[in-house]
Amino acid sequence: MTDITGSIVALITPFLGGEIDFPTLGKLVELHVSSGTDAILVAGTTGEAATWTQDEYSRVVSFVVERVGHRLPVMAGTGTQSTATTIERTRLAAELGADCALVVTPYYNKPTQAGLEAHYRAVAAAAGLPLVLYNVPGRTGVNLLPETVLRLQDVPGIVGVKEASGSVSQAEWILRSARPGFRLYSGEDKLNYPLIALGASGAISVVANVIPRLFADSIHAALSGDHPRARELAHRLLPIAEGLFLETSPAPAKACLHLLGLVPSPELRLPLVGVQAGTREKLANLLRELDLDVPETR
């Protein structure tokens, strides 16, 4: 697997009339390739993959892999509530040409730490694709603790963790004892710079959907040790990093992309719905504060 660092976009999935909008998806891939994004995550939480059929999963991952054409690494979200299904989906992602898999902790059933460890060991042993663990307790209802991550880092095939607990100290406990080459990625856009300063290898980001070039600049400054520039950009991006979670993600990100004319529709799949009018206006103002051209009405 190509070693993945830097600005990794958790790519949204554009919909139009209830169907996946492949022409727009292709344009978004090209936008990221040309804007300094270092890798693309497809079929993640931000991509609403939990609402896709199995056929849609195959079509979308295959499409993104082919469209990227080895210009960037492609990470595929493969985690489900079931270990057996996660293994099946990770094997499919490997067949479709993904470079690695992002495997979220099983959601709703709330396994213990022993259950989480057994789950990831089973997936790593059977799936045939490098795995990045994904901890997002606000979405899943379970927290993958540092001591569990540190046991799993020595499992063959497990190469990193996306840490989105919102806790700097939790990430730091992992970073202080991580083996060489084990990657921790920030999964919380407000904490990207602090976590990179502590040793994170980059960010898997929602914000990167909306401002890919500026976001990549901020991550690259932090990784290169240009701390004055990294701090400046972190402060500048803080309002939009918070704004994209005013309502359930990815609804605000899709609203922003529509305001910027990058997608023809801000449509989501139920049970998610579009943002309220007041949120849309707040987002428009945040984009204008970033000197982006947002029409007064769209």
Respond yes or no: is residue 108 known to be catalytic.
no
CB atoms within 10 A of CB 64: 27
What is the DSSP code (8-state) at residue 39?
E
| DSSP 8-state class, residue 263 | S
Nearest to 13 by CA among 251, 259, 271: 251
Closest CA to 208 of 28, 4, 69: 28
Q: Which two tokens stand for residue 297?
A: 């009405």
- Give Rg (Cα) of the chain: 18
Choose, from 57, 107, 162, 254, the residue flagged as catalytic.
162
Residue type, 71: R
Q: What angle do CA 264, 269, 274 make, to 5 degrees?
A: 60
| Tokens representing residue 200 in the block | 């994170």
Tell me whether residue 120 is one of the annotated catalytic residues.
Answer: no
Which position among 134, 185, 193, 254 bears the catalytic label? 134
Active site residues: 134, 162
